[in-house]
Amino acid sequence: MISIIIPAHNEYDNLQRLFSIACFLEHNKLVEVIVALSPGNSDDIELLECSSKVKILRCKNKGRASQMNEAASMALGNTLVFLHADVVPPAEFIDNILQSLEDGYDAGFFSYRFDKDKWYLRINAAFTVKDGLFTGGGDQCLFIRKEAFEQLGRFNEQQVLMEDFEFFARMKKERISYTIIKNDLVVSARKYESNSYLRVNLSNFILVVLFKLGYPGNKLKSLHNKLIRTPYNG
């Protein structure tokens, strides 16, 4: 059984859009969708029109890692799926995950494309099909057996930015088997609409390199907010 966890901070519009088109909500192997809200969330999330499978969790601590860990601790499913509010999965989403688990993988990610059809965004999306430097980012939607997630010690709550890459690094170190499903998620291009393509890609490259060199999470977050005009709100 699958539990989907969505960390969110003032994402009412994106959540409403997601739930209005998400055919995966009716899948019989989906036990719940937990929307893990940050303490400072200010929108009227209770007004969402959505399935009875959707649960709203008001988290004690702010930050994607903390919110996802708190939701994971109450999740009923034996497989956890971490989905961003502005990412729309394909129609075969749940079936793709189930097939990967049946094939013997303990975890996995999805390829993706952007919701704006620009040639330069197609270049970025092409990198998500293969395992490489940027594999493991949150937009790729990590799914993992709950047993493996607990074995790895959950997300590092001290990693206030790039907690997804830090977790993926531990996955590889512990040799957790994973796959990349080549069935595109649709990811919002809003970061590129608020910043130039060059600015976003250069910033991403700098942040990934600094992360791999051991730069502290709080300093990464501070640098991110200086480089990217839309502040990180996880």
| Domain contains 207 | no
pLDDT interval class at 186 (50, 70, 90): very high
The yes-or-no verdict on residue 49 having pLDDT over 70 is yes
Q: What is the rounded average pLDDT of the residues 51-69?
A: 93
The yes-or-no verdict on residue 232 having pLDDT over 50 is no
pLDDT interval class at 50 (50, 70, 90): confident
Q: Which of 110-119, 186-195, 199-208 has the highest mean pLDDT?
A: 110-119
Residue-wise pLDDT tens digits, 80-104: 999 999 999 999 999 999 999 999 9
pLDDT of residue 230: 63
Give ∠ CA 110-221-19 in degrees, rounded to 5.
40
Q: Are residues 207 and 162 in contact, defined by beta-carbon separation less than 8 angstroms?
A: yes
pLDDT of residue 132: 78
Q: Any residues with CB less than 8 A from the CB of 178 and at least 6 apart, and which?
A: 105, 106, 107, 108, 109, 171
For the domain that residue 151 is a member of, what is the CATH number? 3.90.550.10
| Domain contains 226 | no
pLDDT interval class at 234 (50, 70, 90): very low
| Domain contains 209 | no
Neighbours of 119 (CB within 10 A): 6
Residue-wise pLDDT tens digits, 159-169: 888 899 999 99
Q: Are residues 181 and 109 in contact, defined by beta-carbon separation less than 8 angstroms?
A: yes
Average pLDDT, the chain: 91
The yes-or-no verdict on residue 233 having pLDDT over 50 is no
| Domain contains 157 | yes
Q: What is the rounded average pLDDT of the residues 38-66?
A: 86
Helices of type H across the chain: 12-21, 64-74, 93-102, 119-126, 146-151, 163-173, 190-194, 197-212, 217-227
Give the strands of the sheet with 54-58, arranged side by side.
54-58, 30-37, 2-8, 79-82, 143-145, 107-114, 178-187, 87-88
CA–CA dist 33, 210 (Å, integer): 34
| Domain contains 77 | yes
pLDDT interval class at 154 (50, 70, 90): very high
User: Which residues form the domain of 133?
Assistant: 2-190
| Domain contains 63 | yes
Q: What percent of the chain has pLDDT above 90?
A: 62
Q: What is the rounded average pLDDT of the residues 42-48?
A: 77
pTM of the model as a whole: 0.90
pLDDT of residue 110: 97
Structural domains in the chain (count): 1
| Domain contains 21 | yes
| Domain contains 218 | no
